[in-house]
């Protein structure tokens, strides 16, 4: 009976010790922001977004220039036309200002949607590569060491070079 008790205690101690050993997870880190910036797909996406942004900016500037020219013209002619014409012009200018503001909001929203649409598959590709490399190297956790991500110390292995290699750049 004493031997059985000793054997049971030894088994429990062994099980507890093996759990402690397995609880020590392997952790690594990667700067996801740097990875994304260096990805060729991201560079192409940024070029595409800049081009779209310039298109919106050009249209916005054209609208603002037209608005400013109308204001100058109407101010110059305000004394020579009647009050009814001035009120009509004032309403036209206010409507034009509202359309410019609406265009600016719409352009900003569309640009943000396009950015999300373009970046999402690139981010997913990066995430898949990170997971593949981490699993191959036996890491259970990979922390994002980008600035502002909450990682205070990144002294462990950095997977950036391995993930770049996995992605082919």
pLDDT average, residue stretch 45-68: 96
Residues 6 or more apart whose Cβ sits within 8 Å of residue 43? none
CA-wise closest residue to 146 among 44, 41, 38, 25: 38
> CA-CA distance, 133 to 130, in Å (whole number)?
5
Q: Cα–chain-centroid distance for residue 68?
A: 36
Tokens of 131: 């997971």
The helix, strand and coil proportions of the chain, stated in percent and rounded to the nearest 5, come to 75, 5, 20
- Give the per-residue pLDDT at 2: 54
Specify the range with the lowest mean pLDDT, choosing from 9-18, 38-47, 81-90, 96-105.
9-18
76, with CB counted inside 10 A (0-12, 13-18, 19+), is: exposed
Going from N- to C-terminal start, the domains of the chain cover 23-167
Per-residue confidence at 156, pLDDT binned at 50, 70, 90? Answer: confident
Q: How confident is the model at residue 157 (pLDDT cuts 50, 70, 90)?
A: confident
pLDDT tens digits, residue range 123-132? 999 999 999 9
What is the pTM (predicted TM-score) of this model?
0.68
pLDDT at 8 over 70: no
Cβ atoms of 167 and 36 within 8 Å: the answer is no
């Amino acid at each position: 009976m004493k031997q059985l008790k000793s054997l049971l205690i030894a088994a429990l101690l062994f099980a507890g010790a093996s759990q402690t050993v397995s609880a020590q997870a392997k952790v690594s880190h990667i700067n996801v922001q740097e990875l994304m910036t260096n990805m060729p797909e991201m560079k192409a996406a940024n070029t595409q977004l800049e081009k779209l942004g310039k298109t919106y900016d050009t249209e916005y500037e054209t609208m603002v220039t037209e608005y400013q020219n109308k204001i100058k013209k109407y101010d110059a002619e305000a004394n020579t036309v009647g009050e009814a014409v001035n009120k009509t012009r004032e309403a036209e200018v206010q409507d034009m200002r509202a359309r410019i503001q609406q265009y600016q909001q719409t352009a900003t929203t569309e640009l943000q949607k396009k950015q999300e649409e373009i970046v999402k598959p690139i981010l997913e590709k990066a995430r898949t590569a990170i997971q593949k490399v981490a699993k191959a190297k036996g890491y259970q956790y990979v922390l994002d060491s980008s600035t502002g991500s909450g990682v205070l110390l990144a002294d462990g292995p950095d997977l950036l070079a391995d993930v770049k290699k996995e992605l082919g750049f």
